[in-house]
Amino acid sequence: MEKLKKAILVYNPKSGNANTILSNFDLITTKLLEKGITLTLYSISWDYDLLTEILKNEKYDILILSGGDGTLSRCLSELYSKNIEFPEVAIFPTGTSNDFAKALKIEENIENWIEKITDKTAKYVDFGLINGKTVFLSSYAGGLFTKISYNTDKTLKKTFGKVAYYINGLGELTNIKTFDLDIVLDGNETIKEKAILYAILNGKSVGGFENVIDEASMNDGFMDILIVKSIENPLDIPKIIIDLMNSNLTNNDYIRTLQAKKCEIKKVSEEIDVSIDGEEGENMDVTIEFISGKLKVFC
């Protein structure tokens, strides 16, 4: 008999659609076992988390991560910080914010998620690394709208999904803050802008907007940097949002896009909000680099 593969499914009971995992656990287990894969279920508790100890002491071929972008990046950060080699990763996007899964074209269908594991081959995907230790998969952002992802009521997000973010974001349009952005690209090119938003992207999607940077790739080793400059006329804001949604950035004078393998962002002297894969971050000096050839994802 061929040796069985081992998978561990990590799910966050507090994420947007965690009940999807529990109500379909028999389906997941059966489908995987038909392909020679045994399954262990692991529920995350941030007060009592032994995931790194489990993966340090027991070999798993496949790590299935269920939740939103924040849950995924936190799990991988823990493994990276403990120098634990990543198993091949499968994603069950059950959170409210699933930009990473969208960028990988992972559908909102549990049978499709299972088929990715049973019928597809895992491929290398880039990830971002903050100050040499914190992993992010989708975005690192500061300024306008970045607070929405972690400041929107969880019940509202579960009920209304993406719409909740947009409803909560309307209030920010009445209080736009301009700040001095100072970024050094690949150690030699300095970018200084009066800005209202910056975002370091891995792929095309961020904050519910899809195809923000149409030519962005998730396996070229480069980060895509989006800067929205200070807006002199508030009446121009709707056009910026429309251009973001329609991937029409090259025709908007307020928007600047850049590429780099590594960047240094100086702490912004003004008070701004920062998000890391939709979770609250800190306004501080950061060095961000993109890592290739270490993370394989079924997609």
Q: What is the pLDDT of residues 163-181, one digit of tens each?
A: 444 445 445 555 678 999 9
Looking at every residue in the chain, the average pLDDT score rounds to 85
* pLDDT value of position 49: 74
Indicate the pLDDT class of residue 208, thresholds 50, 70 and 90: low
**90, 118 in Cβ contact below 8 A?**
no
40-54, 57-71, 263-277, range with the lowest pLDDT? 40-54
**Region 279-285 average pLDDT:** 93
Bigger pLDDT: 7 vs 2: 7
User: To the nearest whole percent, how much of the chain has pLDDT over 90?
Assistant: 56
**139, 99 in Cβ contact below 8 A?**
yes
Distance CA 49, CA 82 (A): 14
Bigger pLDDT: 67 vs 6: 6
Bigger pLDDT: 233 vs 104: 104
Q: What string of DSSP letters covers 18-35?
A: THHHHHTHHHHHHHHHHT
Distance CA 208, CA 161 (A): 10
Indicate the pLDDT class of residue 16, thresholds 50, 70 and 90: low
Q: What is the pLDDT of residues 102-137, one digit of tens each?
A: 888 898 899 999 999 999 999 999 999 999 999 999
Indicate the pLDDT class of residue 253, thresholds 50, 70 and 90: confident
* pLDDT value of position 71: 87
Domain ranges of the chain: 5-120, 139-290
84-88, 210-214, 228-232, range with the lowest pLDDT? 210-214
Distance CA 182, CA 273 (A): 16
* pLDDT value of position 160: 45
* pLDDT value of position 163: 46
Pick the CATH number of 5-120 from 2.40.50.140, 3.30.720.210, 3.40.50.2000, 3.40.50.10330: 3.40.50.10330
Asked if the model's pLDDT at residue 261 lies above 70, the reply is yes
- How many Cβ atoms from other residues are within 10 Å of residue 194's Cβ? 13
Indicate the pLDDT class of residue 24, thresholds 50, 70 and 90: very high
* pLDDT value of position 243: 74
Q: What string of DSSP letters covers the chain?
A: -PPPEEEEEEE-TTSTTTHHHHHTHHHHHHHHHHTTEEEEEEE--TTS--HHHHHHHS--SEEEEES-HHHHHHHHHHHHHTTPPPPEEEEE--SS--HHHHHTT--S-HHHHHHHHHHS-EEE--EEEETTTEEESSEEEEETTTTHHHHS-HHHHHHHTHHHHHHHHGGGGGS---EEEEEEETTTEEEEEEEEEEEEESSS-BTTB-SSSTT--SSSS-EEEEEEEPPS-GGGHHHHHHHHHTT-GGG-TTEEEEEESEEEEPPPSS---EEETTEE---S-EEEEEE-SS-EEE-
Return the CATH class of domain 139-290: mainly beta
Asked if the model's pLDDT at residue 200 lies above 70, the reply is yes
